[in-house]
């Protein structure tokens, strides 16, 4: 399985486990992603994402999305889409 970089973490809200990610490629709900950094590495499926507190099913490069994450992330962590 290969991976393609789709963005970077810009902020993390620890109390609600939400990462703000600046996208460099399109992404859709249901895709599997890996978040990688010096102290971070985990894989999860995108269950839902938001832009400006509105649920969306897809996002484009340049968008800042809010994404519920299953583990702590840090600013600058890289986000990859897993590709079969």
Which pLDDT does position 62 carry in this prediction?
Answer: 97
Which pair of structure tokens corresponds to residue 35?
A: 């978040």
Q: Find the domain containing 35 and state its range.
A: 2-83
Which pLDDT does position 84 carry in this prediction?
Answer: 83
Q: Which CATH number does the domain housing residue 58 bear?
A: 2.40.30.10
Which pLDDT does position 36 carry in this prediction?
Answer: 98
Q: Write out pLDDT tens, residues 6-43.
A: 999 999 999 999 999 999 999 999 999 999 999 999 99
Contacts of 54 (CB under 8 A, 6+ apart): none
Q: What is the number of structural domains in the chain? A: 1
pTM value surpassing 0.85:
yes
């Amino acid at each position: 399985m290969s991976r393609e970089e789709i963005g970077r973490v810009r902020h993390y809200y620890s109390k609600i486990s939400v990462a703000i990610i600046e996208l460099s490629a399109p992404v859709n709900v249901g895709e599997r992603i890996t978040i990688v950094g010096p102290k971070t590495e985990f894989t999860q499926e995108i269950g839902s994402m938001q832009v400006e507190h509105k649920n969306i099913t897809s996002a484009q490069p340049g968008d800042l999305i809010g994404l519920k994450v299953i583990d702590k992330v840090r600013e600058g962590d890289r986000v990859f889409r897993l590709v079969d």
